[in-house]
Structure 1
Amino acid sequence: MNKKGKLKMRRRALYILIGIIIISFYFINVAWIGKDDDGASSLETEIKTVKGDWVGAWAASMQAPFEDGVSHKGFKDQTVRMVVHPQMDGDQMRIRLSNAFGEEPLTIEKVHAAVSKGGAEIDPDTDQKITFDGKEKVTIPPGEKKFSDPIPLKVKSEKELAVSIYANEKTGPATWHPRSMQTNYISSGDHVSEAGASNFETEEESWFWLEAVDVTADPSVKGALVVLGSSIANGNYSEIDANNRWPDYLADRMNSEDAEVKMSVLNAGISANQLINSPPEKGENALDRLDRDVFSQTGVEGVILHQGLNDIRHHPDYDSEKIIEQMKKVIDATHDKGLKIYGGTLTPFKGSSMYTEKGEKTRQEVNEWIRTSGEFDGVIDFDKAVRDPEEPKRFLPEYDAGDNLHPNDEGYKKIAETIDLSIFEE
């Protein structure tokens, strides 16, 4: 064989060798199902590569059951169908269940998810079984939470989801979120995949165990913004089932086509919650629930803090220094996690129960510090958005829910509209 022929054979052998190496690497990567450096399975890593990162699309802050009522009684051989409003689109979804305040292991037999058709009805064509580590049945130890496996249910922010949970065994007192501003439904027996509403005869304005819904979002989504607050964040006095909380309105702005920055907005508001000392029935105080309600959210990039007014109202001995000191602790803890935190000024409350001139003075001093201290990464002036220019200690009547303490739907919308989205760009 001449020299030219030998050269061709060597090149051919080299090409074959390169091909074998490439194919080998491919099959090694496909076969590997271990864990990556972040603890995610290689399957999940592949999903992230193709679909985008997981990000929280909806959340609710859990709290301890009350000493009586439905949360204390718990459930046995019943289905709870909960309606949630996702704040972000996604190609897949997963949920997180919480037994944070349970005293016994929580056993759930079945969980299904579907697109809601309104009320207790679901679209049967979208109904899908949710599993945990490949199994329908899941047991969550007391004080723990559990992610589900992903399901290929496309999530749209304009379409509500229904998550149905069937508990056969007695659950004991239930970890929950009362005053959901959303009607949810309870039936006897197993009806997780039932499309109709006829068996869901009991209504409750509460979510049980369901702590979060995550989606694989478009890569253009920056992440999630968590609102840490009390009844105003929770949307008290807004229209039931209308998703007119101010975080909902903010999410609508961030989901618009021309939004300067696209982020999911997660609501960590608890009705009557306090910044410093919060009774059990009003949820843990803001600092104590930071890890569970804020830092554990998937894809969290920033926090909006809007708390302190309940402390002023319920504790007339508190001065502005005490409120500010606690805010600084929340700021420091957030910055330690590498997250941005934005401060919301405290809204007017003259004319409401527990109003005092001393409390008003404290509110004004706290608001001045929020606006001028530079401690926050940005400021949102809720006070300016809804106060009466003629009497700044009071709500503007058109934004008042009627108790001189909470906004109405127009007031919640006004708060969201006045937020400068550019503060979230950096």
Structure 2
Amino acid sequence: MTRRTRRAPRPRPVTGRMARGCQAAALVAAVGCQPAPARAAPPPPSVVRASGVVTWAASADGMGEDGAGQGYRMIVHTSVGGTGLRVRVTNAFGDHPLTLDSGYAGLRGHGAALRPGSNRRLTFGGARTVTVPAGAAAWSDPLPGSWPAGTDLAVSLYLPGAAGPATGHWMALQTSYTGQGDHTAEESARNWGRTTGSWWYLDAVSVRPSRAATGAVVVLGDSLTDGRQSTPDLNRRWPDYLARRLNPARTHAMDVRGVADEGVSGNMVLTDGAAPSALDRLDRDVLSQPGVRTVFLFEGVNDLKAHTGVTAAELIAGYREIARRVHGAGKCVVAATVGPFKGWPEWDPAAESVRRDVNRLLRTSRDFDAVIDFDRVLRSPDDPERLRPAFDGGDHLHPDDRGMRALADAVDLARLNCAR
């Protein structure tokens, strides 16, 4: 498997530091798919035709060249349960049409094996195959049966003619499986002998919850949200802990139950780099998801440590642009302060000064429906420029499992519901 190619940061426009366009969103109904227009304006909510509520998601990015004749059995973990499960196949970063020959989804048993009788064929507008244009995505038809919250799904895709750049999510922190040939219908692990640490051609799963009022929170973030330094295969990213807190068995009064983790390692708010900027990917990764009630914004440290000379005013302007677009789509937006990172190789006093100014402005801002002070959770009481030693995953920037849980525990769940 070829590891994805990291892109060099793109230059900022001469009109200012903030990237002002938005990555085109491939908003596709179950009956087909359509190419995404370049640098499209944010779509109104009515354009998003996928029904239900997102129960899992991972932001798409370029993954380098794909292997021909490959099958993928991806393991993903649900947040909210329901019926009518659908998956979104993505070709967002491809430069050729992508044909899915066969797809199935079922409940994972152990490893690559499925629970007997749970594997169901995916269809697209009633057809067993679908061709997704470059830059687009396609939702499957709803599957029969009930799909529980907090469980592992196995989504199996066979794309024998895949060519050119692949689309997926590089740092999954979840073991998935590959094999040669079409074994998507098989429930055993026999022909899925190789492993991959990435998700391929899959970026969202939705269900139809039992309560019509149920919605989801989508977290827009960087590697701290993507879960770097959390334990792989145990779903210990902070959005995973948040999903467990929102479980209906524990919180009966909450309408927000789905959680989608749209964190990307190396992501910046203002500038494209290892992935499109938060501003560029907001439509595709966040606003296109079905059932979104609230957007949770936790980004900015990469803008500060990239030595681009970003100012607090510019970063706050980027946050405000995201809030404006989210509110324009009729959704709530919650922001979090930027955590400490002294001890990381790119830390310097100038970046720390900007971080403090950004957090001061966030704490007093009225642009958001709520602000959660993650800086106070993460910082050391002995040196507020450093990550709390008990939460340090080892690199002085990313929290470990305990730190991830502390972030989720710091979220006032009631603030995820707002009157919009």
User: Shorter-chain TM-score: which interval?
Assistant: 0.7 to 0.9
Answer yes or no: is the 8 Å Cα contact 1:94–1:214 preserved in 2: yes
Query: What residue is the counterpart of 1:329 in the other structure?
Result: 321
The alignment status of 1:148 with 2:146, answered yes or no, reads: no
Equivalent residue in structure 2 for 1:271, among 265, 270, 273:
265
Query: What residue is the counterpart of 1:65 in the other structure?
Result: 63
Query: What residue is the counterpart of 1:261 in the other structure?
Result: 254
Shift of 1:127: 0.8
The residue identity in structure 2 corresponding to 1:138 is: V
The residue identity in structure 1 corresponding to 2:117 is: D
Q: For the aligned residues, what is the CA RMSD?
A: 1.6
The alignment status of 1:163 with 2:155, answered yes or no, reads: yes
The 1-side partners of 2:101 and 2:72 are apart by 12
Which piece of structure 1 moves more, 231-240 or 194-203?
Answer: 194-203
The 2-side partners of 1:374 and 1:170 are apart by 47
Query: What residue is the counterpart of 1:360 in the other structure?
Result: 352
Answer yes or no: is the 8 Å Cα contact 2:69–2:159 preserved in 1: yes
Answer yes or no: is the 8 Å Cα contact 1:89–1:217 preserved in 2: yes
Distance 1:54 1:79, change over 3 A: same
1:370 alignment partner, SS class: helix
The 2-side partners of 1:137 and 1:291 are apart by 26
Shift of 1:316: 4.7
User: Which protein has the larger Cα radius of gyration, Structure 1 or Structure 2?
Assistant: 1
CA deviation string 1:142-177 (max 9, x = no partner)? 111111111113211232000000122243321111
The 1-side partners of 2:342 and 2:248 are apart by 36
The 1-side partners of 2:173 and 2:29 are apart by 36
Consecutive unaligned residues in structure 1, runs of 5 or more: 1-37, 42-52, 67-71
Shift of 1:119: 1.6
The 2-side partners of 1:58 and 1:364 are apart by 33
Consecutive unaligned residues in structure 2, runs of 5 or more: 1-27, 32-50
The residue identity in structure 1 corresponding to 2:254 is: V
Query: What residue is the counterpart of 1:346 in the other structure?
Result: 338
CA deviation string 1:333-361 (max 9, x = no partner)? 11111111111110110111101011111
CA deviation string 1:274-332 (max 9, x = no partner)? 111122xx211011111101110001111011111100000251121111111111111
The residue identity in structure 1 corresponding to 2:326 is: T
Query: What residue is the counterpart of 2:374 in the other structure?
Result: 382
The residue identity in structure 2 corresponding to 1:244 is: R
The residue identity in structure 1 corresponding to 2:417 is: E
CA deviation string 1:232-281 (max 9, x = no partner)? 111111111100000010011111424141421111111111111122xx
Which piece of structure 1 moves more, 107-116 or 314-323?
Answer: 314-323
Give every structure 1 segment of 4 or more consecutive aligned residues whose post-TM-superposition deviation is greater than 3 Å. Answer: 38-41
Shift of 1:425: 2.8
The 2-side partners of 1:189 and 1:424 are apart by 44
Shift of 1:40: 8.8
Answer yes or no: is the 8 Å Cα contact 2:311–2:354 preserved in 1: yes
Equivalent residue in structure 2 for 1:116, among 108, 115, 132:
108
Answer yes or no: is the 8 Å Cα contact 2:379–2:387 preserved in 1: yes
Query: What residue is the counterpart of 1:56 in the other structure?
Result: 54
Query: What residue is the counterpart of 1:95 in the other structure?
Result: 87
The alignment status of 1:174 with 2:146, answered yes or no, reads: no
The 1-side partners of 2:275 and 2:172 are apart by 14
Query: What residue is the counterpart of 1:50 in the other structure?
Result: none
2:414 alignment partner, SS class: helix
The 2-side partners of 1:210 and 1:348 are apart by 33
Query: What residue is the counterpart of 2:4 in the other structure?
Result: none
The 2-side partners of 1:206 and 1:403 are apart by 22
Query: What residue is the counterpart of 1:29 in the other structure?
Result: none
The residue identity in structure 2 corresponding to 1:297 is: Q
Shift of 1:181: 0.8
In the superposition, the TM-score normalised over structure 2's length comes to 0.85
Answer yes or no: is the 8 Å Cα contact 2:91–2:133 preserved in 1: yes
Matches within 5 A, 1:119-130: 119-130=111-122
Query: What residue is the counterpart of 1:229 in the other structure?
Result: 221
Which piece of structure 1 moves more, 213-222 or 332-341?
Answer: 213-222
Shift of 1:199: 2.0
1:312 alignment partner, SS class: helix
The 2-side partners of 1:39 and 1:386 are apart by 41
The 2-side partners of 1:256 and 1:218 are apart by 11
The 2-side partners of 1:338 and 1:362 are apart by 31
Which piece of structure 1 moves more, 257-266 or 203-212?
Answer: 257-266
The residue identity in structure 1 corresponding to 2:53 is: V
In the superposition, the TM-score normalised over structure 1's length comes to 0.84
The residue identity in structure 2 corresponding to 1:303 is: V
Matches within 5 A, 1:211-250: 211-219=203-211, 221-250=213-242
Answer yes or no: is the 8 Å Cα contact 1:220–1:262 preserved in 2: no
CA deviation string 1:214-240 (max 9, x = no partner)? 101021653111100000111111111
The 2-side partners of 1:262 and 1:406 are apart by 30
1:358 alignment partner, SS class: helix
Answer yes or no: is the 8 Å Cα contact 2:381–2:388 preserved in 1: yes
Q: Which has the higher helix share?
A: 1
Distance 1:77 1:184, change over 3 A: same
